[in-house]
């Protein structure tokens, strides 16, 4: 297989601080691999504490002295719309680079580029339409809420669909008047480097956006611990989220963390079986299985279990694995050899924990690259590691259940709680199960169809706080309550009664 290499790849990836591309202060770099050849194709500047300090200083200066926080919402909205226009104008190029850097299938990467533009359009409109609360006591008092940008937001993003997930944080952070320091994932820094040109073309003032590449334990750690960064928005592993939570605590930072998932897809006997198979195939194998909301545990009612497993396994075997740049490809290469080794270790574990009915290794004809055949295990007990632990690859565990109560126990029987998918034609069951399942987001007879106005986030080990729609506006702004008295001042008066000196001299006046 001849590998597709995009034209015009950079000869190095640098930081972007205060409107300038710069190397690390100490000259540190790290290697970046492409997931098809696993060869180094570029070196990126490896940010250290000194680089984070420079970026935060630039962002602070832009916040204190620059025009961005003081612009009218309509003026900021125009800039965000120009950003969306610039993203849309080069969506094919963005998708090509994203596919090369991540191994995502090109058709899915193109969808992520378009979604990134939509994120900016959404928040461009939302800040103009934003209505704040006002409370009145007629003739006596008016109270209103004043929203203000907070300062420098630290944004730490993951390597799966990196460009889109960066937009998901960048758009509301800057829309509300903050300045930002972005630390993208070290596995996939290529598309993040394009933001600088996009923002410059759109007219975003210098210093509002700053980018520091590097490792999480170096650049990310310094950003979290910086005393002048009051907000941290993080998407990534739950263990990393725990570290960030501890490191941010001494500074009492605002935190928004969207973490791991082991989401259940629950299929009842009265469900549309073909629709459920289609949706649950897509739900775990799209984006190479490297998605936080993947329905990686499928719970199926016993009456249809054998039929479901047979259909599911047969369809999984037909999923097209191959060159990420081929439009026919449905599952591409996993992002990095370290991650490939992790996923394959779970495949081996699964062979002793469940019944392998599809996949289970490297696809035929793909001797190099981080390729994993879509892998399906049936009859997986709830104690199994492949049932309990996030694999983050094209691997799924299928488990039978006999009652609604058992299905709920299985669905809730993990530490995670990000998403859940429920397939049933019983309306009462659907709503009751949705309310009882421990998940931040639930889809009924549908698969991950997002309305950008709704909250996005999880419970338990899947996250802290929510973003999306007005929840993002809440996170990236301070809400100041202003109280105005309209009539007479209504409060008790202390110290108004006069006391005579004689009373003070004589302790017992008569």
Half-sphere exposure of 494 (CA within 13 A, CB side): 0
Sheet of 477-485, strands arranged across: 134-137, 141-149, 477-485
Pairwise CA distance, residues 438 & 412, whole Å: 6
3-state secondary structure 83-146: HHHHHHHCHHHHHHHHHHHHCCCHHHHHHHHHHHHHHHHHHHHHHHHCCCCEEEECCCEEEEEE
> Would you mind telling me the total number of residues written for the chain in this entry?
510
HSE of 270, CA atoms in CB hemisphere, 13 A: 9
**Out of 98, 292, 330, 353, which one is annotated catalytic?**
292
Q: Catalytic annotation on 292?
A: yes
Residue 497 makes CB contacts below 8 A (sequence gap 6+) with none
Q: Which pairing describes strands 231-235 and 254-258: parallel, antiparallel, or unpaired?
A: parallel
From the candidates 166, 258, 330, 353, which is the catalytic residue?
258
Q: Which residues of 357-370 are buried (b: 16+ CB within 10 A; e: fewer)?
A: bbbbebbeebeebb
Paired residues of 297 in beta bridges: 264, 397
Token pair of 114 as six digits: 């378009």
Supply the residues annotated as catalytic: 258, 292
């Amino acid at each position: 297989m001849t590998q597709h290499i995009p034209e015009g790849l950079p000869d190095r990836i640098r930081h972007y601080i205060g409107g300038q591309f710069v190397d690390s202060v100490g000259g540190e770099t790290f290697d970046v691999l492409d997931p098809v050849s696993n060869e180094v194709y570029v070196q990126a500047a490896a940010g250290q504490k000194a680089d984070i300090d420079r970026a935060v200083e630039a962002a602070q200066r832009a916040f204190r002295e620059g025009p961005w926080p003081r612009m009218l919402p309509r003026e900021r909205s125009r800039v965000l719309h120009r950003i969306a226009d610039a993203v849309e104008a080069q969506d094919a190029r963005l998708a090509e680079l994203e596919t090369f850097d991540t191994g995502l299938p090109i058709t899915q990467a193109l969808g992520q580029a378009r979604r990134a533009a939509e994120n900016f359009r959404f928040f461009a409109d939302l800040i103009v339409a934003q209505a704040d609360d006002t409370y009145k006591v007629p003739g006596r008092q008016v109270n209103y809420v004043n929203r203000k940008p907070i300062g420098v937001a630290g944004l730490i993003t993951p390597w799966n669909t990196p460009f889109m997930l960066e937009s998901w944080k960048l758009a509301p952070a800057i829309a509300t008047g903050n300045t930002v320091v972005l630390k993208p994932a070290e596995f996939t820094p290529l598309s993040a480097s394009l933001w600088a040109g996009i923002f410059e073309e759109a007219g975003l003032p210098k210093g509002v956006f700053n980018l520091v590449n590097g490792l999480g334990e170096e650049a990310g750690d310094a950003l979290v611990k910086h005393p002048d960064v009051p907000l941290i928005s993080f998407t990534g592993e739950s263990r990393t989220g725990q570290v960030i939570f501890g490191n941010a605590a001494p500074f009492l930072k605002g935190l928004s963390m969207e973490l791991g998932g082991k989401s259940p897809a629950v299929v009842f006997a009265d469900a549309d079986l073909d629709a459920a198979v289609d949706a649950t195939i897509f739900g775990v194998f799209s984006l190479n299985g490297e998605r936080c909301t993947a329905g990686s545990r499928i719970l199926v009612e016993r009456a249809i279990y054998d039929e479901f497993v047979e259909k599911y396994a047969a369809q999984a075997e037909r999923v097209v694995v191959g060159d990420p740049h081929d439009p026919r490809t449905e599952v591409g290469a996993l992002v990095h050899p370290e991650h490939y080794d992790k996923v394959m270790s779970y495949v081996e574990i699964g062979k002793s924990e469940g019944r392998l009915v599809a996949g289970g290794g490297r696809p035929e004809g793909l001797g190099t690259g981080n390729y994993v055949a879509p892998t399906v295990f049936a009859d997986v007990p709830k104690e199994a590691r492949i049932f309990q632990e996030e694999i983050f690859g094209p691997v799924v565990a299928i488990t039978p259940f006999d009652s609604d109560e058992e299905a709920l126990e299985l669905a809730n029987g993990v530490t995670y709680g990000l998403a859940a998918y429920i397939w049933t034609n019983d309306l009462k069951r659907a709503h009751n199960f949705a309310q009882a399942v421990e998940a931040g987001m639930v889809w009924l007879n549908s698969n991950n169809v997002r309305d950008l106005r709704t909250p996005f986030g999880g419970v338990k080990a899947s996250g802290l706080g929510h973003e999306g729609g007005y929840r993002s506006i809440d996170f990236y702004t301070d809400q100041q309550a202003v109280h105005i008295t309209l009539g007479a001042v209504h409060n008790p008066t202390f110290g108004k009664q006069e006391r005579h000196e004689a009373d003070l001299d004589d302790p017992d006046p008569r």
